[in-house]
Structure 1
Amino acid sequence: MPRTIMGYVLAETGKHQAGLAALAITVFLLSAAPLEFQRRIINDLTEKGSFDNVLWLALGYAGVALADQILKLLLNVYRGWVAENSVRSLRRKLIDADIGSAVAAHSPVDVGVEIAMILEEAEPIGGFVALALSQPLLQVGILVSVVGYMFALQPYLALMGMAFFVPQVVFVPAMQRAINRRASRRILTKREISGTIVEGQNDATQEEVTGIQRIFSLNMAIYWLKYVMYLLMNLMHHLSVAAALCVGGWLVLQGRIEIGTVVAIVGGLAKLNDPWGDLIDWGRELSVVRVKYRLFSEAANWLTGAKPDPTDAGMSRRSAPAEV
C-alpha cells in the first residue's frame, strides 16, 4: 500500500478525484451569484423599480439556486460512491491477502486482532478518500469567490468583516492541534483494549476498565475543545455581521452606499461561515485519518507479509502514533 493517505487517494481514485474536482469547481463558481441577485432585488424594491425587473431577478435567483442544489446533490452522491467503493476496496485487499500464511507465522489471536482493527478502520479511511481533494477545493473556492465579490462590491465593509477572521487564525490551529493529540491517543487506546480482550491476560479486566475510562476522558476533552472552538468561531461571525450592519447602516443613512450593498455584504459574511467551518473539519479529519491509515497499512503489510516501508522501521503494531 502507498505510504501516505494522499498517496493512496491518488493511486486508487485519481480519475474520480478529477471528476469530483470538476463538480466542486462548478459549485463554487455559482456561490456568489445569489448574493448579486439579492442585492439587485433589494435595490429595485427600495428605489421603487418595475415589478417585471424584480420578477425576472427572482426567477434568475431561483434558477441559480436550483442549479446549485442539483450540482451539490450530484457531488454528494458521487462522494458517497467513491467512499463506499474505497471501503470495499480496502476490505477486499484483506480478503485477497494470504491470511493462512499469516496465521501460520503468527498466533491466530494476533491475526484476529489485526483483522478486526483493519475492518473497523477501513470505514473512516474510505470516507475521507471521497473528501480528500474535492472538499478543500470546494470550500476554498467558495471563500475566494465570496470574498472577491465582497471586495469588488464594497472593499471597506468587506475588509472590516474579514478583520473578525484574524483571531481565528490564532486560536483555531492551537485548539485543533490539542484535539488531534487526543484523537491520536484515543486510536492507540482502542487498539490496546482490543489486544487485552483477545489475548485474555490475567489483569485484562482492570486494563480494559482503565482503557475505557481513558477513552471517555479523551472523548470529553475533544468535545469541550471542539465546541468551545465552534462557539468562538460563531461569536466572531456574529460580531462581524453586527459591525457590517452598524457601519453599513450608517453609510446608507449618509447616502454613500445602497441598502442592497449592505444586504449583500451581510449575506456574504453568512456564506463564509459554513465553508470556513467545513475546511477546519476537513483539516481535523485529515490529521486523524493520516494516523489511522498509517496503522491500517502497517497492519495490512504485517498480515500479507509485505516488506515494511523503511520509513516505518521500528514501529510495532501497537506503537503510539505520532502527534499531529
Structure 2
Amino acid sequence: MPKSLLGFVLLISRYHQMAIAALSIILFLAGTAPLEIQRRIINAATERGSYQAILILVLAYLGLVLLEGLTKLMLNVYRGWVGEIAVRWLRKSALAASQRSEEAPLDALAEGVQLSIIIAEAEPVGGFVGTSISEPLLQAGILVAVGGYLIFLQPLMALAVAVVFLPQIGFVPLMQSAINRRVETKITVMRRVSQSMVQHVVTDDALDAQTSRVERLFSLNMSVYRIKFTMNFMMNLMTQLGYAGIFALGGYYVVTGKTEIGTVVAFISGLSKIRDPWGELIDWYRDLRVTQVKYAMIRDASTAQRAEDGAFAPDTSDIDAIEA
C-alpha cells in the first residue's frame, strides 16, 4: 500500500478524480448565478418592474436550479461508485492476506486485525476516496465564487460576514486533533476485541476483559460526541452572529438609501450558501484527519502481514498500554 492517503487515492482513482473535479467546477459555477437572479427578481418586484421580465428571470432561476441539482446528482453517484471501488480493494487485499499456507497460519492478533479491517475499517477509508479531492475543490470553489460576488455587491457587509468565520480557523483544528487521538485509540481497542473473539476464549477473565473494552469504546465514543457537537454549536453560533450583522448593517444601508433591498436578500442567501460549504469543508477536514489515522493503521497492518513468517511477533505493547 502507498505510504500516504493521497498516494492511495491516486492509485485507486487518479483518472476518475479528474472527471469528478470537472463536475465539481461546473457545480460551484452553476450554484453562484442564482444569487444574482434572486437579487434582480426582488429589485424588479419592489420597483414595480415588468412582470414579463420577472417571469423570464424566474424561468432562468428554475433552469439553473435544475442544472445544479442534476450535476450534484451525477457527482454524488460518481463519488459513491469510486468510494465503493476503494472499499472493495481494501477488503480483497485483507482477504488475500489471510489466504496463507497451513505451515504459516495467522496468529490471533493478526487475524483479529484483518477481521476488523474487513468489517469496520475499510468502509470509511475507502468511502473517503470518492470525496478526497472533489469535496474541497467544490466547497472552496463555492466559498470563493459566492464570497467574490458578495464583495462586489457591498464590500463592508462582506467583510462583516468574513470576520464571523475567522475564529473557526483557530478552534476547529485544535478540537479535531483531540478527536483524532480518540479515534486512533478506538481502532486499536476494536482490533483487540476482534482478536479476543477469534481466540474463542470464554473464561471469566476473558469475558471481563471484553466487557472492559466495550466500556472503553463507550467512553471514547461519548468523548468524541461531546467534542464534535460542541464544535458544531460554536460554528452555528458564529453563523447566527453573521446573520445579525447582515440585518443590522444591511438595514442601516437600506434606510439611508445606500443599497437596495435586493442586495440585503442576496447577502442573506449568500450567507446560507457560504455556511453550507464552510460546514462541508470543516466536515471534510475532520474526515481527512480521521481517515489519515485509519489508513496509516491499515497500511501498517498490511506491512506487518507481508513480513517473513516467523520473522517477528506482532508488538502488542501499544495496545496493552492503551487498555491500561
Q: TM-score, normalised by structure 1?
A: 0.91
- Counterpart contact for 1:23–1:75, Cα < 8 Å: yes
Between 108-117 and 260-269, report the one with greater CA deviation.
108-117
C-alpha distance in 2 between matches for 1:180 and 1:111: 24
Give the superposition deviation at 1:262. 0.6
Higher mean Cα deviation, 150-159 or 173-182? Answer: 173-182
Alignment of 1:69-108 (within 5 A): 69-97=69-97, 99-101=99-101, 104-108=103-107
1:259 aligns with 261
Alignment of 1:33-112 (within 5 A): 33-97=33-97, 99-101=99-101, 104-112=103-111
**3-state SS in 2 of match to 1:164:** helix
Contact 1:298 1:317 in 2 (8 A): no
CA distance, structure 2, for counterparts of residue 318 and residue 12 of structure 1? 33
Cα pair 2:83 2:128 within 8 Å, conserved: yes
Deviation at 1:106, TM superposition (A): 4.2
- The SS at the match of 1:165 is helix
Distance 1:118 1:40, change over 3 A: same
State yes or no: 1:118 paired with 2:120.
Answer: no
Q: Map 1:275-286; keep pairs closer than 5 Å.
A: 275-286=277-288
Q: Distance in 1 between matches of 2:247 and 2:95?
A: 60
Gap regions ≥5 residues in structure 1 = 308-312
Shift of 1:115: 2.4
Aligned positions of 1:194-205 closer than 5 A: 194-199=194-199, 200=201, 202=203, 203-205=205-207
Residue 137 of structure 2: aligned partner: 137
Letter in 1 for 2:111: G
Kindly provide the amino acid, as one letter, of the partner of residue 256 in structure 2.
Q
5+ residue gaps in structure 2? 320-324
User: Quick one: distance in 1 between partners of 2:315 and 2:12?
Assistant: 26
2:275 is matched with which residue: 273, 291, 295? Answer: 273
Tell me the alpha carbon deviations over residues 110-146 of structure 1, each in whole angstroms, 9 at most, x when there is no partner.
4431321220211111101111101111111111111
What SS is found at the alignment partner of 1:3? coil
Count of aligned pairs: 314
Partners of 1:188 and 1:318 within 8 A in 2? no
Instruction: Please name the residue that 1:310 is paired with.
Output: none
Superposed displacement of residue 82, structure 1: 0.5
In structure 2, distance between residues paired with 1:233 and 1:286 = 19
| Contact preservation (8 Å) 2:180, 2:293 | no
| Alpha-carbon distance, 1:105 to partner | 2.5
Does the C-alpha gap of structure 1 residues 185 and 237 become closer, same or farther in structure 2, counting only changes over 3 Å?
same
Once the 2 structures are TM-superposed, how far is the Cα of residue 221 of structure 1 from its aligned partner? 1.1
Change (3 A) 1:9 1:107: closer
CA distance in 2, matches of 1:22, 1:5: 22
The corresponding residue for 1:173 is: 173
Shift of 1:251: 0.7
Given that 2:98 and 2:106 are in contact with CA atoms closer than 8 Å, whether structure 1 keeps it comes out as no
Aligned-pair CA distance for 1:303: 3.2
After superposition, the Cα gap between the structure-2 partners of 1:315 and 1:287, relative to the gap in structure 1 and judged at 3 Å, is farther
Distance in 2 between residues matched to 1:175 and 1:86, nearest whole Å:
29
Cα distance in structure 2, aligned partners of 1:164 and 1:318: 46
Answer yes or no: is the 8 Å Cα contact 1:43–1:260 preserved in 2: yes
Match for residue 245 of structure 2? 243
2:66 alignment partner AA: L
The change in CA–CA distance for 1:96 and 1:194 in structure 2 (over 3 A counts) is: closer
**Most deviating of 112-121 and 77-86:** 112-121
Find the counterpart in structure 1 of residue 208 from structure 2: 206
| Cα drift, residue 238 of structure 1 | 1.0
Q: 1:7 to 1:253 in 2, by over 3 A?
A: same
Q: What is the root-mean-square deviation in Å for CA atoms of aligned residues?
A: 2.2
- Distance (whole Å) between structure 2 residues aligned to residue 15 and residue 168 of structure 1: 34
- Provide, for residues 163-209 of structure 1, a one-character-per-residue CA deviation record: whole Å limited to 9, x for no partner: 11112122222212111221121111111222233333852222211
Counterpart for residue 220 of structure 2? 218
Deviation at 1:36, TM superposition (A): 0.5
Decide whether aligned partners of structure 1 residues 94 and 177 sit closer, same or farther in structure 2, where only a CA change above 3 A counts. Answer: closer
Confirm or deny: 8 A CA contact 2:184 2:293 kept in the other structure. yes
The SS at the match of 1:30 is helix
CA distance in 1, matches of 2:315, 2:281: 33
